[in-house]
């Protein structure tokens, strides 16, 4: 199913994002086909350990995690190349796989790979933005009981209040009594974090700069990619990496039918990556109506796989308390 936002909607988002202060665009715009391929290269870099660590955990614990998730159609949010879900599907507990992602061609290839690795298992790819999950067309695989999988620390791309909204949306799609396995990257040494998001080989920079090429191609932009440099900085108070393209000079750019001015040194935020301790993440999950059931971590405590259970009728007192904790994190942001 291809439900990718149409150019007019993208243009509107870009105009809104460039009118903000600081300028910031939705992170999903990074993922056109070239962006998805560049992200694959980032995952192979020695500085970016997240993919290796999470894959190792999933491979080692696949049968245990698949059993803990229980039966149903496994819905993966932001499936990327579709490889991380395979150790779960290989355990044979789930009846189908629904892979959701914004990057259409990359998703098509991911689904081909899934069909090859899991012959006979029904596979459905849905290209869409998470914000449209409540308007998915009817499909037999979405009528089965559903469980969710959201790896890669991708929740960190959303500010805490947006993350709560997103987890609620996932809950609405998955239905009452469902379970969600989610990979959360944790705070660690600043030099490691900054290096992970600004690898020496330059793939992180190429990934961010590809956004400008996309805007030029799809929204008649006039960005000069050489007029921007890439930066990734840890922001302690907000517990996040901020990734930005910084204007090298005072310049003005036309895109999506409007002109925008950049001062010399002005950042355009391409994405954030919030890192959550297990306690902070639990508060966020509870505020979204999810109850933490279990957690698995790598020996160094770099990241956790959290198993959440969606309460049929969320306990309002528990939600209120955890919302207060989530709000205090949001205030820090
Ligand atoms: C950080 S990558 C993670 C990919 C893969 N899950 C992994 O763990 O390696 C984020 C993935 O989510 C997709 N994505 C990002 N924002 C999205 C959105 N708003 N709606 C749907 N997919 C999105 C991207 O295309 C990309 O494949």
The answer to whether 32 and 105 have CB atoms below 8 angstroms apart is no
Would you place residue 313 in the very low, low, confident or very high pLDDT band (cuts 50, 70, 90)? low
Enumerate the domain spans of the chain. Answer: 7-24+191-274, 50-188+276-322
Q: What percent of the chain has pLDDT over 70?
A: 93
Mutate to test the pocket of ligand 1, among 80, 108, 128, 183 (most ligand atoms within 8 A of CB): 80
The answer to whether 149 and 181 have CB atoms below 8 angstroms apart is yes
Q: Count CA within 13 A, CB hemisphere, residue 54.
A: 27
Instruction: Tell me how far apart the alpha carbons of residues 7 and 11 are, in angstroms, rounded to a whole number.
Output: 6
Residue 250 has pLDDT above 80, yes or no: yes
Residue written as tokens 């930066």? 231
Mutate to test the pocket of ligand 1, among 74, 125, 150, 154 (most ligand atoms within 8 A of CB): 154
pLDDT at 316: 47
Mean pLDDT of 108-133: 96
Mean pLDDT of 166-175: 96
Q: Which residues contact 28 (CB under 8 A, 6 or more apart)?
A: 102, 129
Burial class (CB in 10 A: 0-12, 13-18, 19+), 134: exposed
Q: Is the dihedral of CA 57, 87, 147, 162 positive or negative?
A: positive
Q: Which residues contact 67 (CB under 8 A, 6 or more apart)?
A: 91, 93
Would you place residue 323 in the very low, low, confident or very high pLDDT band (cuts 50, 70, 90)? low
Cβ–ligand 1 distance for 151 under 6 Å, the answer yes
pLDDT at 326: 52
To 10 degrees, the CA torsion angle through 229, 28, 34, 269? 0
The answer to whether 180 and 308 have CB atoms below 8 angstroms apart is yes
Nearest protein CA to atom 5 of ligand 1, as residue = 80
Nearest protein CA to atom 24 of ligand 1, as residue = 78
Instruction: Tell me how far apart the alpha carbons of residues 172 and 131 are, in angstroms, rounded to a whole number.
Output: 12
The per-residue pLDDT of the chain, averaged, comes to: 94
Helices (H), 175-228: 190-196, 203-218
Ligand 1 atom at shortest distance from the alpha carbon of 154: 1
> Chain centroid to CA 168: how far?
15
For residue 78, report the distance from its CA to the centre of ligand 1, in Å.
4
pLDDT at 3: 93
Among 152, 19, 141, 16, smallest CA distance to 79 is for: 152
Burial class (CB in 10 A: 0-12, 13-18, 19+), 300: exposed
Mean pLDDT of 102-109: 98
Give the pLDDT confidence of 281-309 residue by residue, as tens digits: 999 999 999 999 999 999 999 999 999 99
Ligand 1 atom at shortest distance from the alpha carbon of 43: 9
Per CATH, the number for 50-188+276-322 is 3.40.50.150
Residue 317 has pLDDT above 90, yes or no: no
**Which residue has better confidence, 301 or 326?**
301
**Greatest CA separation for the chain:** 57
Structure tokens at 212: 């400008």
Mean pLDDT of 82-90: 98
pLDDT at 333: 45
Residue 320 has pLDDT above 90, yes or no: no
Average the pLDDT over each of 4-18, 282-296, 304-318 and give the range with the smallest value: 304-318
Strand partners, 247: 228
Q: Which helix (H) or strand (E) holds 280?
A: helix 278-287
Give the pLDDT confidence of 219-240 residue by residue, as tens digits: 999 999 999 999 999 999 999 9
Mean pLDDT of 10-15: 97
Strand partners, 268: 23, 245
Cβ–ligand 1 distance for 152 under 6 Å, the answer yes
Output DSSP code: residue 5: P
Give the pLDDT confidence of 27-56 residue by residue, as tens digits: 999 999 999 999 999 999 999 999 999 999
3-state secondary structure of 241: strand
Q: Count CA within 13 A, CB hemisphere, residue 119.
A: 1
């Amino acid at each position: 199913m291809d439900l990718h936002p149409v150019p007019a909607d993208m243009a509107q988002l870009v105009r809104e994002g460039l009118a903000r202060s600081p300028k910031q665009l939705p992170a999903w715009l990074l993922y056109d086909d070239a962006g998805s391929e560049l992200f694959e290269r980032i995952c192979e870099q020695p500085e970016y350990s997240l993919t290796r660590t999470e894959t190792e955990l999933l491979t080692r614990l696949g049968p245990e995690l698949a059993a803990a998730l229980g039966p149903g159609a496994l819905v993966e949010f932001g499936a990327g190349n579709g490889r991380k879900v395979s150790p779960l599907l290989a355990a044979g507990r789930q009846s189908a796989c629904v892979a959701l992602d914004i990057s259409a061609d990359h998703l098509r290839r991911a689904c081909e790979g899934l069909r090859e690795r899991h012959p006979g298992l029904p596979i459905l790819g849905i290209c869409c933005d998470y914000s449209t999950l409540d308007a998915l067309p009817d499909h037999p695989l979405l009528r089965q009981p559903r469980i969710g999988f959201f790896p890669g620390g991708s929740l960190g791309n959303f500010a805490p209040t947006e993350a709560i909204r997103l987890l609620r949306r996932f809950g609405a799609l998955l239905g009452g009594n469902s379970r969600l396995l989610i990979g959360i990257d944790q705070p660690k040494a600043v030099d490691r974090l900054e290096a992970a998001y600004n690898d020496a080989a330059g793939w992180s920079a190429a990934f961010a700069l590809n956004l400008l090429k996309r805007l030029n191609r799809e929204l008649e932009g006039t960005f000069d990619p050489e007029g921007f440099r890439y930066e990734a900085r840890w922001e302690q108070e907000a517990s996040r990496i901020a990734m930005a393209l910084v204007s090298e000079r005072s310049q003005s750019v036309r895109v999506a039918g409007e002109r925008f001015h950049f001062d010399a040194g002005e950042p355009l935020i391409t994405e954030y990556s919030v890192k959550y301790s297990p306690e902070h993440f639990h508060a966020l999950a509870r505020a979204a109506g999810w109850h933490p059931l279990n957690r698995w971590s790598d020996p160094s405590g770099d990241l956790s796989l959290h198993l959440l259970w969606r309460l049929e009728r969320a306990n309002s007192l528990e939600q209120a308390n955890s919302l207060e904790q989530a709000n205090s994190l949001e205030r820090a942001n």
